A and B are shown apart, each in its own frame.
Chain A
Amino acid sequence: AQSVTQLDSQVPVFEEAPVELRCNYSSSVSVYLFWYVQYPNQGLQLLLKYLSGSTLVKGINGFEAEFNKSQTSFHLRKPSVHISDTAEYFCAVTGGGNKLTFGTGTQLKVEL
């Protein structure tokens, strides 16, 4: 079984500042890792995924994440945020197949 911990429930940041959203996972098997974004009253949109290969993965909207196996982390970063990045962000893991285990989410609030 897998589990995901998102330590920060809310992250306020000023526009054009960098941001990091933290994600740690637990699994007894190799994992695939994902970050999803959810805008108010909408479903989930995939930002990026790590399946194998390079540990630094780039996604949509300027986001990137780094897979760190020794620290069991998959933190999401963006060098300069925009007001439109305000949303809920979910880290998710699967050991294979399509059953995703999600974290509790981090609300990113970008302020002027």
Chain B
Amino acid sequence: DAGVTQSPTHLIKTRGQHVTLRCSPISGHKSVSWYQQVLGQGPQFIFQYYEKEERGRGNFPDRFSARQFPNYSSELNVNALLLGDSALYLCASSVDHATYNEQFFGPGTRLTVL
């Protein structure tokens, strides 16, 4: 079975632009979470979605938004990019959200903001 897939692998943008990152969960998984990993730090939770509804949000500005589609894939959108948004963005999928289920991480999208 395919694991969690993310696209694109790498992305370069300039300040002020917007970006859309995509994630496809493991087949049968209905929950998707997004994390931001700045160089030299641990991942920080951004969002969790389950059954197309937001189930959790981390301490990120409103420039960050996400959605989940009927096929459980997800998009993370970031508007008005800042240099500090440069990071590895990780997507994780799990069976559901209600109790702990193992999360499987994708390879990430490396975003560079110039």
> Which A residues fall within an 8 A CB radius of B?
4, 32, 36, 41-46, 49, 51, 90, 92, 94, 96-105
CB contact under 8 A between A96 and B99, given known A44-B90, A104-B41, A105-B41: yes
Which residue in B41, B43, B110 is a CB contact (below 8 Å) of A44? Answer: B43
Is B84's beta carbon under 8 Å from chain A? no
CB contact under 8 A between A97 and B90, given known A43-B107, A44-B105, A104-B42: no
Which partner residue on chain A sits nearest B43 by CB separation? A102
A-chain residues with CB within 8 Å of residue B58 when the two chains form the complex: 99
CB contact under 8 A between A98 and B48, given known A43-B105, A43-B108, A46-B102: yes
Which partner residue on chain B sits nearest A42 by CB separation? B107
Which partner residue on chain B sits nearest A91 by CB separation? B42
Is B112's beta carbon under 8 Å from chain A? no
> Which B residues fall within an 8 A CB radius of A?
4, 31, 33, 35, 40-45, 48, 55-56, 58, 90, 92, 94, 97-108, 110
Bound-state CA distance A90–B90 (Å) is 14
Q: Do B90 and A32 touch (CB < 8 A)?
A: no
CB contact under 8 A between A90 and B42, given known A43-B108, A51-B100, A98-B31: yes
CB contact under 8 A between A99 and B56, given known A32-B100, A90-B43, A105-B42: yes
